[in-house]
Copies of this chain bind each other. A is one copy, B any other.
Amino acid sequence: MATKDRLILVCNDDGIFAKGIQALIEVASDFGKVEVIAPDRQQSAVGHSITIMDPLRATRFELKNGMVGTAVNGTPADCVKLAHDQLLDRKPDLVLSGINHGSNAGINLIYSGTVSAATEGTILGYPSVAVSCTDFDENADMSGCQEAAAKAIQFIFNNGLPKGITLNINAPSGPLKGLKWTRQGDSKYVDEYEPRVDPHSRPYYWMTGRFQVLDHGEELDINVLKEGYGSITPIQYDLTAHKVFGEMSKMEL
């Protein structure tokens, strides 16, 4: 398919005004016509949250690069669902989400709105990619992440993607040292909350927490990133624990 005939949907979870989505729009523009449909505000760590109890609104407006975008008062997954069902004139050839300001490797993947937008794209039948920069700095150099995203997009247009598979990319800031296939590394957060007392003597808690690696296997996203490379993990949304299912399903309940 010629570049001019491709439609690429771009979403994120940091909101339509984040710098990261601009960086992803730049990459996407090299591969097709871009439609930006993203949350109207910061939606980090909303996971695969969707809006059931409130109506959604979609507001079209011009982005600073002259491109037209649509801001939705919902989550990343809402944006992709609404784009698919109502807002797009035709089905997109690709769904991109990001570039997230912060890592979505290891356990972060579970909490990530960025990844969920891409997973939702996969559920709806589109090749989908999530892209995250491990550097939280708003002004981080995302050139390496952009290069990794371009490689993944080219990979998809060359090879397609197996059914039900989403690509999850993470890369450090700065130039790309290389991009490696990885698995999601087991990890968790510890010491998660800082208790404080408000001016009215009432307690409250801020989320904080240290990231703890629990996994020492090879080809892990968290390890490859530590070595300065970008990571690309094929992920899927079937949560069945197939590894133990055969054995467990023989046990009496």
A residues near B, CB below 8 A? 42, 44-53, 55-58, 77, 81-82, 84-86, 107, 109-111, 116, 119, 123-124, 151-152, 155, 159, 162, 164-165, 168, 179, 181, 183-184, 186, 188-189, 191-193, 195-196, 202-207, 219, 232-245, 248-249, 251, 253
When distances are taken between beta carbons in the complex, the residues of chain B under 8 Å from A47 are: 46-50, 77, 116
Complex contact B240–A86 (CB within 8 A)? no
When distances are taken between beta carbons in the complex, the residues of chain B under 8 Å from A249 are: 181, 219
When distances are taken between beta carbons in the complex, the residues of chain B under 8 Å from A77 are: 47, 111
When distances are taken between beta carbons in the complex, the residues of chain B under 8 Å from A56 are: 193, 204-207
A165 vs B248: C-alpha distance when bound (angstroms): 11
When distances are taken between beta carbons in the complex, the residues of chain B under 8 Å from A168 are: 239
Most buried by B among A179, A202, A244: A244
